[in-house]
Structure 1
Amino acid sequence: MFTGIVQGKGQVLAVTEKNDFRTHVVRFPSELLGGLELGASVAHNGCCLTVTKVEGSDVSFDLIKETLKVTNLGALQVGDEVNLERAARFGDEIGGHSMSGHIHCLATLAEIIETPDNRILRFSLPSAWRKYVLHKGYIGIDGISLTVGTLFDDGFEVNLIPETLARTTLGQKPLRAAINIEIDPQTQAIVDTVERVLAQR
């Protein structure tokens, strides 16, 4: 489980491509290395990956076909940065919301609006997932727990404070960038249950 509070950014140092399979090596900030072992779960842009090798501050992860298809991790190149979060432990402060690390879809960054004190990002979302995005609800965006602002026919927008822009990769994302989206599981369960009950009437 993750909380959507990004703990640091890691730089991709190496990428090894195979058939529907990829291994990448990420340099971790020193503060995220404590107790990191083989088999540990770490979210990369919100996607849960398993540690396969630790060599000092350089940590390796394997990405399978489904991960490459559903997330933006397959497009990473050497030098790119990813948002990192270690798995939550019992007793940790939950500052965001409960997240599984399972990416549902990709959204497109459709508009960037600069304001004096923050930045507004507008995302275009595939139609099948729009019913799960509610005003003031939670959503995971590249691993960041955010509150949904204004809704649109084709998507939604969020407001980012300077701390989020500095701590995560969202401040460097260009227009039309593909962004990992994790729908709030509680919202999804409620919407699906209501739809199922109404369909039985």
Structure 2
Amino acid sequence: MFTGIVQGVAPLVAIEDKANFRTHTVQLPAEMLANLELGASVANNGCCLTVTAIEGDRISFDLIKETLRLTNLGDLQVGNLVNVERAAKFNDEIGGHLMSGHIMCTAEIVKILTSENNRQVWFRIANEQNMKYILHKGFIGIDGISLTLGEVTRNRFCVHLIPETLERTTLGKKRLGDKVNIEIDPQTQAVVDTVERVLAHRDLAGPTVKTFGETTR
């Protein structure tokens, strides 16, 4: 599990591509290396990845076909930066919201509005069916950053970014057309999916008919 509070930004220093498979290596910030072991979980742009090799501060991760399909990690090139976060520990402060590191889809940046000390960024989600989980003032994970949703329309949504977020993460360097990884708040997803199932079951059961004080279907 992760908190969505990005601990650092790491440059991608090596890529090895194979058929439907990629190993990428990042240079992890020194303060994130303590007690890091093979098999540990580290979020890269919000995607939970397993450490497969450690060579000093150069940390490698394997990306399988599904990861490459659902995330923006397969689009990265050597020199690009990724947001990184070590897995949360018990008793850690949860400054953002609980995140699994399981990316649902990507979204494209379609509008950036900048004013003094503020930036509003609008996104268009790749799979519009997932818009039902995106609610005004709800939580969302964007490239591993825990953010509060601003305005939401039928197929777009925005977030408001403070200077600290722009400085500490890759969002400050994003441009129009860039893709970001999206993780939906799991509690929101569970509520929406449960309500949909209940309503679908009720519709399949047919109308309620009352006869002699009893309720039948």
Same structural fold, with TM-score higher than 0.5 when normalized by the shorter chain? yes
1:86-119 deviation digits (Å, cap 9, x = unpaired): 0000010000001000000111101000011111
Task: Tell me which amino acid in the other structure corresponds to 1:186.
Answer: Q
1:46-102 deviation digits (Å, cap 9, x = unpaired): 000000111111101110000000000001100000000000000100000010000
Instruction: Tell which deviates more after alignment, 88-97 or 118-127.
Output: 118-127
* Matched residue, 2:195: 194
What does residue range 89-108 of structure 1 map to in structure 2 within 5 Å? 89-108=89-108
CA RMSD of aligned residues (A): 0.6
Q: Quick one: distance in 1 between partners of 2:52 and 2:115?
A: 42
1:191 deviates by: 0.3
* Matched residue, 1:160: 161
Q: Quick one: distance in 2 between partners of 1:75 and 1:100?
A: 22
Q: Quick one: distance in 2 between partners of 1:196 and 1:36?
A: 42
Q: Quick one: distance in 1 between partners of 2:55 and 2:159?
A: 37
Q: Quick one: distance in 2 between partners of 1:200 and 1:102?
A: 28
Q: Quick one: distance in 1 between partners of 2:25 and 2:200?
A: 47
Structure 2 residue 120 is matched with structure 1 residue 120: yes
What does residue range 159-178 of structure 1 map to in structure 2 within 5 Å? 159-178=160-179
Identity of aligned residues (%): 64
* Matched residue, 1:54: 54
Aligned to 2:24, the other structure's residue is in SS state: strand
Task: Tell me which amino acid in the other structure corresponds to 2:65.
Answer: K
Runs of 4+ in 1 over 3 A off after TM superposition: none
* Matched residue, 2:212: none
Q: Quick one: distance in 2 between partners of 1:38 and 1:24?
A: 15
Task: Tell me which amino acid in the other structure corresponds to 2:182.
Answer: I
Higher relative contact order (CA 8 A, sep 6+): 1
* Matched residue, 2:34: 34
* Matched residue, 1:12: 12
Q: Quick one: distance in 2 between partners of 1:62 and 1:188?
A: 28
What does residue range 80-95 of structure 1 map to in structure 2 within 5 Å? 80-95=80-95
Q: Quick one: distance in 2 between partners of 1:183 and 1:105?
A: 9
Aligned to 2:74, the other structure's residue is in SS state: helix
Q: Quick one: distance in 2 between partners of 1:189 and 1:45?
A: 23
How many equivalent pairs are there? Answer: 201
Task: Tell me which amino acid in the other structure corresponds to 2:61.
Answer: F
Gaps of 5+ in 2: 203-217
1:138-195 deviation digits (Å, cap 9, x = unpaired): 0000000000001112110000000000000001111011110000000000000011
Task: Tell me which amino acid in the other structure corresponds to 1:148.
Answer: L
* Matched residue, 2:135: 134
Q: Quick one: distance in 2 between partners of 1:117 and 1:82?
A: 23
Task: Tell me which amino acid in the other structure corresponds to 1:20.
Answer: N
1:199 deviates by: 1.2
Q: Quick one: distance in 2 between partners of 1:46 and 1:65?
A: 17
1:17-63 deviation digits (Å, cap 9, x = unpaired): 00000001100110100111100000000000000111111101110
* Matched residue, 2:110: 110
| TM-score, with structure 2 as normaliser | 0.92
Aligned to 1:94, the other structure's residue is in SS state: coil
